[in-house]
Amino acid sequence: MRIHHWLTGAVLLLAGCASGGTRMQHEIDALMRDYQGDVPGASVLVVRDGQPLVRRSYGMADLERHVEASPQTNYRLASVSKQFTAASVLLLVEDGRLKLDDSIKRYLPGLPAAADGITIRHLLTHTSGLIDYEDVMDPADTRQVHDADVLTLLQSQDRTYFAPGTGYRYSNSGYALLAQIVERASAQRYARFLHDRIFQPLGMNDTVAYEAGVSEVPNRAYGYSLENGAWMRTDQSTTSAVLGDGGIYSSLDDLSKWDAALYDERLLPSSVLRQAFTPATPTDDPQVEYGFGWRITGETLWHSGETIGFRNVIVRWPKRHLTVVVLTNRDDPEPYETAKKIGALAMREAATN
């Protein structure tokens, strides 16, 4: 019976899309076969020229309650959240409330001397050398860490991995501190700033920087891991409450609005957005450079997100006006390669039409 319901839902989802070609849809279904049925699911969006070619979901958002995934299902974005943190900083630059080359100690004066040379730009580009907060957490403490707790942890670390600006090391610490800087510069809670300045203006009405006891996630997907042949709920860890590096929940439908806003000036001037999309530093992968909250590989802008129970990716080909989003509520596999294959299918379709 559940299989029948899933097939019915798939047909309805396709009916709501612009024609994307039956062949392409079948090929995407084949790529997503392992997400179908009574298992943790996935949602796939393909947008070209502002139109959804595919807007499709598979499997379950909530195994225990047998809730199917849908384009409205909200997944924890994990590090896909970083592009929203970067956009928040750029909004405050436009407001004149901060500058990219400001010392972070102007806003976070309690940091030790080792942070003296670190700027906001260094945090955005993972070139600060900050210590990874997960490496200095107390493993015996099972309480969830928040962005303010990350600041406290780093205040005790008068050292860096390298001198600011002299290297690259992917840093969740840096983006947690950026959330704190947004709060100090805007005089708003970070989650409220995101709502007021990004989500609400863009009509991303179900997207939320989730705070337990403060906000709720509508149409929420729960995360799972495969353990001893069975799917176990692994939705939260001790670091899941840190917002700046990965705490946003969103859906295909809301992310399509975000993608659209990156092509025009409804959120930020093009000259400012361009800074986020411009390579600022090489990374530890010779094929990948980093901007502000975006990885850059060839013609693509992309970012993945990995956290307990979730694996996500957004890949954009701006010159082609093509975007692929794959959101999943399971620990494995990482969907970047799948998203690139889906993008190739969409490009092939465009070439034949």
Whole-angstrom Cα Rg for the chain: 20
Full-model pTM: 0.93
Same domain assignment for residues 209 and 67: yes
* Unique residue bearing structure tokens 């070609």: 21
Same domain membership, residue 209 and residue 178: no
The reply to whether 335 and 198 lie within a common domain is yes
Q: Of 124, 157, 186, which residue constitutes the final position of a domain?
A: 186
**Predicted pLDDT of residue 352:** 86
| pLDDT, greater one: 159 or 351 | 159
Residue ending a domain, choose from 119, 152, 186: 186
Read off the pLDDT band of 100 (50, 70, 90). Answer: very high
Phi, psi of 89 (to 5 degrees): -60, -45
Q: Are residues 134 and 276 in the same domain?
A: no
Q: Are residues 137 and 285 in the same domain?
A: no
Q: Do residue 218 and residue 316 come from a single domain?
A: yes
Question: Is residue 67 very low, low, confident or very high in pLDDT (cuts 50, 70, 90)?
Answer: very high
The CATH number of whichever domain residue 204 belongs to comes to 3.40.710.10
CATH number of 126's domain = 1.20.58
Q: How confident is the model at residue 22 (pLDDT cuts 50, 70, 90)?
A: confident
Same domain, 228 and 296: yes
Q: Which of 31, 44, 56 is nearest to 341 (CA)?
A: 31
Give the chain's mean pLDDT: 94
Task: Say whether both 57 and 199 belong to one domain.
Answer: yes
Contact 330, 225 (CB under 8 A): yes
Cβ(308)–Cβ(115) below 8 Å? no
Q: Are residues 154 and 11 in the same domain?
A: no
- Model confidence over 234-243: pLDDT tens digits? 999 999 999 9
Domain that holds residue 145: 83-186
Give how many domains the chain has, as a whole number.
2
Together in a domain, 230 and 335: yes
Structure-block tokens of residue 231: 């799917």
Same domain for 196 and 61, yes or no, is yes
* The pLDDT value given to residue 198: 98
Pair of tokens at residue 94: 């436009």
What would the mean pLDDT of 201-225 be, rounded to a whole number? 97
71, burial (CB in 10 Å: exposed 0-12, middle 13-18, buried 19+): buried
290 and 335 within one domain: yes
Domain end, chosen from 186, 204, 229, is at: 186
Q: What is the pLDDT of residue 8?
A: 31
Mean pLDDT of 149-162: 97
